[in-house]
Amino acid sequence: MKINVNSGKVNLQEYGNQDPRNKKSDYPDFKVPSGCAIFGVLNENGLSFNGSRVIDGIAMMHERSNGLGGGFAVYGIYPEFAEDWAFHILYDDKLAIKETEEIINASFDTVYSEEIPTKPTITISNPPLMYRYFLKLKDVEKTFIIDSSKNRLMEGFTEENFIVNFVMQFNSRQDGAYIISSGKNMGIFKGVGFPEDIAEFFMLDKYKGYLWTSHGRFPTNSVGWWGGAHPFGLLDWSVVHNGEISSYGRNKRFVNCFGYQCSLSTDTEVICYLFDLLLRKSSVDIELISNILAAPFWEQIERLSGPEKKLLKTLRIMYGGALVNGPFSIIVGSSKFMYALNDRIKLRPMVAARKDDYLFVSSEESAIRKVSPELDRVWRPDGGEPVIGIVKS
């Protein structure tokens, strides 16, 4: 990954250990094990709603982050370009834009492109250049996939496989540029700052979508930079995550076997690729994903009997490299559903709630109550118990 990772980095020392709004920092400079905030809202009927309630919800958990990362993923955001691939790209400079657009033009027809609209925000400093492109893939017979060994069309070619390969190769090789969003009718907006400041910077209260996920970051094992903020995206997948993936090395080697390249130096990235591999490529039923990523312990499986025992043993054997260890809570967005999951012994907080057609998932109940005081149901999922909301239309 070659983009300048210091681009947009906040220097909290400038403010005498206070954030730019002159509020005393809630955390000193040491690792806070349960830092980070996640918040997601889905309208299961696919009805779009304004981003204000999501911004208010994640802002309610301001103390869980430290200004070194915030971001949002929004689905249904580009209805006028719903059939086009929507790329959001970060740039270091104008040269990187020129080089990138030459690469894009070799494989895609550009329907429309523009600099992503932003507004000056006092707490956001030194942002990279940010553009969005709405693209159609050119004639596949003339479009070639470049990998380390050969130049030819992939076996089992699909547009999705092409986009995955294109993004992987681009992000690992291109200087000064990084694709952070590559789905259809969705977009990721993220950067260095508190999430409510990132929302102000991108004017997200002016957007509408039927599914929103958001994140406030407290970096523990990697630097805070614009590309390293959450959500992480590939195709229409987006992932926000609180915690640490202690199995990252094993998970990374597992997805590498299927052509995925981890280039962000952060553990969250691999979760996005696991979902693409398991759900899109391997067609694993969504109800079984938790039994792979947060699989029961072997001794628990051995106490079972019959088909259930056989199924769980098979999943652990086939997808052992996809078992995610360590404390985590995640929310995964896609065009068809929102999925949330805790680690199997619930070392990170997560609460879910429903109100009419809305499903909420959050690190704290207070954030949900902030935007929806009256709820039909509130529950705290057990470790390894998924929360799944499906888009009906």
Percent of the chain predicted with pLDDT > 90: 75
In a domain, 197, yes or no: yes
pLDDT over 50 (residue 15): no
Matching residue, tokens 């952060």: 266
**Which of 20-29, 163-172, 306-315, 376-385 has the least mean pLDDT?**
20-29
User: Looking at the predicted structure, is the pLDDT value of residue 28 above 70?
Assistant: no
- Tell me what pLDDT residue 68 has: 84
CA 17 to chain centre: 29
Strand ranges (DSSP E) for 172-315?
Answer: 177-181, 186-191, 208-209, 211-216, 232-234, 237-243
- Whether 237 is in a domain gets the answer yes
Residue 324 lies in a domain: no
User: pLDDT: is 10 or 347 the higher one?
Assistant: 347
Confidence check: pLDDT of 212 > 80: yes
CATH number at residue 344: 3.60.20.10
**CA angle, corner 174, sides to 173 and 177, nearest 5?**
135
The tokens for 267 are 């553990």
Q: pLDDT tens digit string along 257-281?
A: 998 988 776 788 899 999 999 999 9
Question: Which residue out of 36, 257, 262, 272 is catalytically annotated?
Answer: 36
Domain presence at residue 301: no
Instruction: Indicate left, alpha or beta for 287 from its phi (over 0: left) and psi (-120 to 50: alpha).
Output: alpha
> The tokens of 143 are what?
């479009």
Mean per-residue pLDDT, 6-15 = 35
Residue range(s) defining the domain that contains residue 31:
12-285+329-390
Q: Residue 256 and residue 273: Cα distance in Å, rounded?
A: 10
Determine the 3-state secondary structure of 226 from DSSP: coil
* pLDDT value of residue 205: 95
Total Cβ atoms within 10 A of residue 134: 21
pLDDT at 141: 52
Whether 293 is in a domain gets the answer no
Which amino acid belongs to residue 165?
N
Q: How far apart are CA 30 and CA 134, in angstroms?
A: 42
Is the pLDDT confidence value at 368 over 90?
yes
Q: What's the number of domains the chain is made of? A: 1
Domain membership of residue 241 (yes or no) is yes
pLDDT at 120 over 70: yes
Mean pLDDT computed over 140-168: 66
Residue of higher predicted confidence among 18 and 60: 60
Task: Reply yes or no on whether 257 is catalytic.
Answer: no
User: In the predicted model, what is the mean pLDDT of the chain?
Assistant: 87
Task: Provide the pLDDT confidence category of residue 146 given band limits of 50, 70 and 90.
Answer: very low
More confident position, 47 or 21:
47
pLDDT at position 393 over 50: yes
pLDDT digits (tens, 9 = 90+) for 294-343: 999 999 999 999 999 999 999 999 999 999 999 999 999 999 999 999 99
Q: Tokens standing for 239?
A: 């992932």
**pLDDT for position 148:** 42
Does 189 reside within a domain? yes
Residue 310 domain-assigned (yes or no): no
What is the tens place of the pLDDT at every residue in 52-103?
999 999 999 999 988 888 999 999 999 999 999 999 999 999 999 999 999 9
pLDDT computed for residue 155 by the predictor: 52
Q: Of 78, 47, 87, 113, whose CA–CA distance to 185 is shortest?
A: 78
Cβ proximity of 199 and 231 under 8 Å: no
**pLDDT (tens digit, 9 = 90+) per residue, 229-243?**
899 999 999 999 998
